[in-house]
Amino acid sequence: MSEYSLFVMLCVIAAISSYFNLRFLKLPKAIGLTVVSALISLMLVVLIKLEPKLFYPAYHMLNSIDFKILVLKVLLGYLLFAAAMHLNFLEIKNFLASIFVLSSLGVVVSTFIIGTLCWLAAPIVIKHDVSYIYCLIVGAIFSPTDPVTVFAVFKTSKSVPMRVKSILSGEAMFNDVFSIVIFLILLSLVISGKSDIVNPRVFC
């Protein structure tokens, strides 16, 4: 399968996913596409196990993409720019303190909550113990909210107070920075061999 064929296939899948969400799930567009994408990813993993010769080339091509460069150096800038275009800074300037607390301390707390839940669930779900710091890295990845998704949800919601919209929209814009910092700190601990410095018994 060529890269062009893969690109066309992904576009077709995206179009079908949008229709499926619009027709059946009826979720906000950004959330619906995320849910459908997650389901398709799980299906791809299962299909590779069942028919490796048929689906492995597509999996191998996707797996060869450097998502660190793609997400951090290419997509993230465009996503934040697109979100900033819809953000009214005159509305959020009165809530800067709340936004800062949520985007910094909130991300830290969320990282430890998600990481701890992953650490506790790993022996049950995958029947294998996972180092706590790796679970924290997963928590740092999942903690920040997607600003584009936040704006898409608020755009269709009329019942959310403007104050809440302003705070959560501002928080969604800035939490990526703190999440990246936490991720890089945890990753540096793993690379330097100091992962044991984070003791799960302190938090559990």
What are the pLDDT digits (tens) for 68-91?
787 778 877 887 787 777 777 888
At residue 185, the pLDDT reads: 92
How far is 94 from 166, CA to CA, in rounded Å? Answer: 9
**Tens digit of each residue's pLDDT (9 = 90 or more) over 134-150:** 999 999 999 988 777 77
DSSP string, 75-100: IHHHHHHHHHHT--HHHHGGGHHHHH
How far is 170 from 100, CA to CA, in rounded Å? Answer: 9
If you average pLDDT over residues 53-77, what whole number do you get? 77
pTM of the shown model: 0.69
**Tens digit of each residue's pLDDT (9 = 90 or more) over 3-32:** 677 678 778 888 888 888 888 888 877 788
Q: How many Cα atoms sit within 13 Å of 166 on the Cβ side?
A: 14
Judge contact between 102 and 89, C-beta under 8 A: no
Question: Which residue, 66, 33, 37, is CA-closest to 148?
Answer: 33
Q: Which residue has the higher pLDDT, 36 or 104?
A: 104
- Under 8 Å CB-to-CB from 184, ≥6 apart: which residues? none
- 1 has a pLDDT exceeding 60: no
SS3 for 195?
A: helix
How far lies 143's CA from each of 134, 157, 200, in Å? Answer: 14, 23, 19
Q: H or E stretch including 62? A: helix 52-63
Pick the range with the lowest mean pLDDT from 46-55, 99-108, 121-130, 159-168: 46-55
Q: Which residue has the higher pLDDT, 21 or 151?
A: 21
